[in-house]
Amino acid sequence: MSFITNPSPIVIVEDSDEDFDTVMEAVKKAGLAAEVHRATSGDAFLALLRGAAAIRPVMVLMDLNTPGTDGRDALITLKSDPAFRVVPVIVFSTSDNPKDLDFCYRAGANAYHVKPVRHPDHLQAVIEILGYWLGRVALPRNERSTL
């Protein structure tokens, strides 16, 4: 597929450096051709998408509890914006609270994964998520929607 030669832009919304490192470790370990952008808060994430150097990710891996505008608000904003509604958002959170799951799916999240505390499990989870969304799934074409 074309994105293997042309790395696909993905956005990781994550305020924890350790957890972000784990994502980078997973990208490296799985040999994924991904152009990884990081936002440490909901506001930074929205700025990344809407700013001058507007990035148009093929997918977003999003932590919920980020400083300032948190992942929930960012998710709602993104999914209610026709320009970005098609971009898959995969929630990756420590919380297994049914309320959070319910909230995220209602807001249009495409998947919800719970972060394990055990590092090997955590790493494996990221490899599988990214491998699936970047390798298995047929994604919408990376063009600005005219919706």
Residues that bind other proteins (CB under 8 A): 16, 18-19, 21-22, 64-65, 93-97, 115-120, 122
Q: How far is the CB of 123 from other proteins (least distance, A)?
A: 9
Q: How far is the CB of 115 from other proteins (least distance, A)?
A: 7
What distance lies between CA 41 and its chain's CA centroid? 12
Distances (CA, A) of 4 to 16, 25, 47, 58, 85: 28, 18, 27, 13, 24
Q: Give whichever of 81 and 96 is closer to other proteins, judged by the CB atom.
A: 96
> What is the Cα–Cα distance from 143 to 126, expressed in whole angstroms?
26
Q: Give whichever of 116 and 135 is closer to other proteins, judged by the CB atom.
A: 116
Q: How far is the CB of 100 from other proteins (least distance, A)?
A: 9
Angle at CA of residue 60, ends 55 and 65, nearest 5°: 115
Q: Give whichever of 94 and 142 is closer to other proteins, judged by the CB atom.
A: 94
User: What does the block give as tokens for 5?
Assistant: 């030669």
Exposed/middle/buried for 73, CB within 10 Å: 0-12, 13-18, 19+? middle
Q: How far is the CB of 44 from other proteins (least distance, A)?
A: 18
Q: Give whichever of 58 and 125 is closer to other proteins, judged by the CB atom.
A: 125
